[in-house]
């Protein structure tokens, strides 16, 4: 049974279910529904493999969809009465035509089958199929085929790997929870706006994007539903202190010394009193032996120590940034990157000790790194820099081991009054769950800056839409274009800037990717196209707009 509410009214959150490990593949789905009070547990357990009854499925759907029983029901099952548990919920789903009766009986205790589930979801959420899906065990003339086709068309299910749907197979508690979570973790409808008005409301995000592109000022926004409310703007993320942040690479990929003059165009445009970037995110892409932010890295404690030394050296990024800010009489926020603790191979300590790789050792490695960083920061005493927190180097949360690791890291960071941010790529796994991991800010990459792309506008719309859905910020991107690329590069960059203004990004929270140092290149080269790119960048500054 899915909803054992008849014995205990107390809500049990997913992270309290003793039979649902934090490492379980569907943990986030269960947590989402339990947080929304759609799922309630019993005696601290979820019992994921137990079958769900038709009655419990009806109760869960009514909670999720916020349905009410009709005042004058047209269908009353012969095997239920007002004192029966779930009676009103069953009347509500029958009123919408989501379930069928057999001999006028609902059979509330009967296990839910996959074809029952398909009918309930397709009718309840008004899914429409295309007739294109094909399953070996479900012919097109089967009365349940339209419902199965509809949920397949809307990517609620793909069936089994052997090409079957198994319509008569019973559904367990876990499966039903995952199906419902898939529906509600994204909007059910999308509004297309132009000239300040809603022009279209459609079910498909891609259809909405295509419609928005027909208007010179078209934008796409998620429509609220019974479980989720959405903003019409990207995330403000005020706790992070970031209005305009910039990524500054300082690992082995950076082969020049930083200077105070280097940072002046970043801090303020043209020597004015205004601010271009208020926050500097310091990260090293690589160490002499490999990558620091990739799951393929093999960095040990000595490599982490190398990066700390690199960051705090006399000719390093922080000394130069602090000197520049002091000369301009400005203050700057700083986030320092946490290199990705390697996922494979033994970990070698500073003393040469061989430590077997495990979640505990990875967490200890990250904790040691943060303590070392904070000790050096305290010793340096930078006069014009404020240490706001850390930047997680990995751009995805695709490995199950990383979720608990980041939660532990974020808990340590929050205990010290600091914050944790990251910047997932456009197709990043589990981006939608960023807050559950303990991140205080996520900055989604549109990944629309490559010059050979033919769908840059669609990518930008999609990124701004997803940032609204999931409350994230945006990472504005420009490549480190050379003189032979800059003309085309400016055209591409203008798309980012125009879309940013269209969606009201200035004044929210954004970060800026610029390769190794595109802003410096804009100033040093100083040709019309480079200066045009710098002027476009300045238009994103909230203080300059004011």
The full set of domain ranges for the chain reads 26-184, 189-223, 238-539
Asked if residue 4 has pLDDT above 70, the reply is no
- Please name every residue paired with 198 in a beta bridge, in sequence order, or none if there are none: 193
Query: Confidence class of residue 13 from pLDDT cuts 50, 70 and 90?
Result: very low
DSSP assigned state of 154: T
- Could you tell me how many helices (H) and strands (E) the chain has, helices first? 17, 15
Asked if residue 7 has pLDDT above 60, the reply is no
Residue-wise pLDDT for 467-488, tens only, equals 999 999 999 999 999 999 999 9
d(CA 158, CA 407): 31
C-alpha atoms less than 13 angstroms from C-alpha of 271 in its C-beta half-sphere: 1
Which residues, 6+ apart, have CB-to-CB distance to 505 below 8 Å? Answer: 234, 464, 474, 476, 540
Contact 80/88 with Cβ under 8 angstroms? no
Query: Confidence class of residue 544 from pLDDT cuts 50, 70 and 90?
Result: low
Query: Which pLDDT score, from 0 to 100, does residue 42 have?
Result: 79
How far lies 367's CA from each of 140, 196, 301, 405, 422, in Å? 57, 48, 11, 11, 17
d(CA 331, CA 241): 12
Residue-wise pLDDT for 499-508, tens only, equals 999 999 999 9
Query: Which pLDDT score, from 0 to 100, does residue 294 have?
Result: 78
Averaged pLDDT, 20-29: 85
C-alpha 518, offset from chain centre: 27
Query: Which pLDDT score, from 0 to 100, does residue 11 have?
Result: 38
> What is the end-to-end Cα distance of the chain in Å, rounded?
58
Query: Which pLDDT score, from 0 to 100, does residue 24 have?
Result: 86
Buried b (16+ CB within 10 A) or exposed e, 103-140: eeebbbeebbbbbbbbbbbbbbbebebeeebebeebee
Contact 541/275 with Cβ under 8 angstroms? yes
- Please name every residue paired with 513 in a beta bridge, in sequence order, or none if there are none: 477
- Please name every residue paired with 385 in a beta bridge, in sequence order, or none if there are none: 332
Asked if residue 368 has pLDDT above 90, the reply is yes
Tell me the residue length of the chain: 546
Contact 277/534 with Cβ under 8 angstroms? no
Averaged pLDDT, 17-26: 86
Query: Which pLDDT score, from 0 to 100, does residue 402 have?
Result: 94
**Closest among 325, 300, 322 to 311, alpha carbons compared:** 322
Lowest-confidence segment of 102-106, 128-132, 252-256, 523-527 by average pLDDT = 252-256
Average model confidence (pLDDT) across the chain: 93
Give residue for tokens 């208020």.
278
d(CA 527, CA 538): 17
Query: Confidence class of residue 528 from pLDDT cuts 50, 70 and 90?
Result: very high
Lowest-confidence segment of 11-20, 285-294, 475-484 by average pLDDT = 11-20
Residue-wise pLDDT for 318-364, tens only, equals 999 999 999 999 999 999 999 999 999 999 999 999 999 999 999 99
Token pair in block for residue 288: 């002499």
- Please name every residue paired with 444 in a beta bridge, in sequence order, or none if there are none: 474
DSSP assigned state of 424: -
**17-23, Cβ contacts within 8 angstroms, sequence gap of 24 or more:** 17/41, 17/44, 17/45, 17/46, 18/44, 18/45, 19/45, 19/46, 19/47, 19/48, 20/46, 20/48, 22/403, 22/404, 23/400, 23/401, 23/403, 23/404
Query: Which pLDDT score, from 0 to 100, does residue 536 have?
Result: 96
Query: Confidence class of residue 182 from pLDDT cuts 50, 70 and 90?
Result: confident
Candidates 3.40.309.10, 3.20.20.80, 3.40.50.720, 3.90.1150.10; CATH matching 238-539? 3.20.20.80
- How many of the other CB atoms lie within 10 Å of CB of 37? 12
Query: Which pLDDT score, from 0 to 100, does residue 1 have?
Result: 32
Token pair in block for residue 238: 């005020």
Asked if residue 75 has pLDDT above 70, the reply is yes
Q: What percent of the chain has pLDDT over 70?
A: 96
- Please name every residue paired with 442 in a beta bridge, in sequence order, or none if there are none: 422
d(CA 57, CA 2): 7
Torsion angle (degrees, nearest 10) of CA 230, 232, 233, 234: 40
Q: What percent of the chain has pLDDT over 90?
A: 84
The sheet with strand 190-194 has its strands ordered as 197-202, 190-194, 219-222
Query: Which pLDDT score, from 0 to 100, does residue 22 have?
Result: 80
Asked if residue 95 has pLDDT above 80, the reply is yes
Asked if residue 5 has pLDDT above 50, the reply is no
Q: Residue 297 is inside which H or E element, if any?
A: none
Averaged pLDDT, 218-233: 95
Query: Which pLDDT score, from 0 to 100, does residue 256 have?
Result: 77
Token pair in block for residue 197: 């008005």
Averaged pLDDT, 299-324: 98
Query: Confidence class of residue 21 from pLDDT cuts 50, 70 and 90?
Result: confident
Task: Sort 457 into a burial class: Cβ within 10 Å, 0-12 / 13-18 / 19+.
Answer: middle
Asked if residue 12 has pLDDT above 60, the reply is no
Pairing of strands 354-355, 347-348: antiparallel
């Amino acid at each position: 049974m899915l909803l054992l509410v008849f014995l205990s009214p107390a809500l049990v959150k997913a992270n309290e279910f003793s039979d649902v490990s934090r490492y379980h593949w569907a943990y986030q789905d269960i947590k989402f529904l339990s947080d929304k009070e759609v799922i309630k547990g019993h005696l601290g357990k979820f019992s994921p493999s137990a079958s769900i009854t038709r009655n419990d499925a009806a109760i869960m759907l009514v909670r999720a969809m916020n349905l009410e029983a009709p005042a004058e029901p047209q269908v009353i099952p012969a095997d239920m009465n007002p004192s029966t548990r779930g009676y009103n919920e069953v009347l509500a789903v029958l009123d919408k035509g989501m379930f069928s009766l057999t001999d006028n009986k609902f059979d509330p205790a009967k296990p839910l089958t996959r074809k029952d589930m398909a009918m309930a979801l397709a009718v309840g959420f008004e899914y429409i199929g295309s007739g294109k899906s094909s399953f070996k065990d479900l012919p097109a003339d089967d009365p349940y085929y339209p419902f199965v086709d509809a949920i397949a068309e809307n990517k609620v299910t793909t069936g089994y790997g052997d090409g079957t749907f198994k319509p008569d197979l019973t559904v367990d508690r876990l499966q039903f929870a995952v199906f419902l979570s898939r529906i509600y973790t994204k909007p059910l409808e999308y509004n297309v706006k132009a000239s300040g008005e809603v022009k279209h409301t459609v079910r498909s995000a891609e259809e909405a994007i295509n419609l928005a592109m027909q208007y010179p000022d078209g934008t796409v926004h998620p429509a609220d539903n019974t479980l989720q409310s959405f903003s019409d703007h990207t995330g403000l993320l005020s706790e992070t202190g970031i209005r305009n942040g910039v990524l500054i690479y300082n690992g082995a990929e950076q082969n020049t010394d930083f200077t105070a003059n280097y940072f002046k165009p970043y801090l303020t445009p043209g020597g004015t009193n205004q601010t271009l970037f208020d926050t500097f995110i310091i990260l090293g892409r690589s160490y002499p032996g490999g990558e620091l932010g990739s799951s393929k890295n093999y960095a040990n404690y000595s490599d982490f120590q190398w990066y700390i030394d690199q960051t705090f050296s006399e000719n390093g990024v922080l000394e130069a940034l602090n000197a520049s800010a002091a000369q301009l009489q400005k203050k700057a926020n700083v986030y320092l990157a946490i290199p990705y603790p390697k996922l494979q191979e033994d970990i070698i300590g500073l003393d040469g000790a061989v430590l077997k790789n495990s979640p505990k050792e990875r967490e200890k490695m990250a904790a040691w790194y943060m303590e070392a960083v904070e000790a050096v920061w305290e010793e340096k005493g930078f006069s014009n820099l404020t240490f706001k927190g850390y930047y997680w180097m990995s751009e995805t949360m695709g490995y199950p081991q990383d979720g608990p690791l980041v939660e532990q890291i974020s808990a340590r960071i929050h205990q010290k009054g600091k914050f944790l941010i990251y910047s997932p790529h456009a197709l990043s796994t589990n981006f939608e769950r960023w807050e559950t991991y303990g991140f205080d800010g996520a900055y989604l990459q549109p990944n629309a800056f490559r010059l050979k792309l033919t769908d840059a506008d669609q990518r930008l719309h999609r990124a701004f839409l997803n940032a609204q859905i999931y409350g994230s910020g945006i990472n504005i991107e420009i490549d480190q274009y050379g003189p032979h690329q800059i003309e085309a590069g400016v055209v591409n960059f203008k798309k980012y800037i125009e879309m940013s203004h269209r969606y009201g990004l200035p004044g929210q929270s954004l970060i800026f990717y610029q390769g190794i140092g595109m802003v410096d290149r804009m100033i040093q080269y100083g040709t019309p196209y480079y200066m045009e790119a710098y002027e476009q960048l300045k238009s994103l500054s909230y203080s300059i707009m004011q």
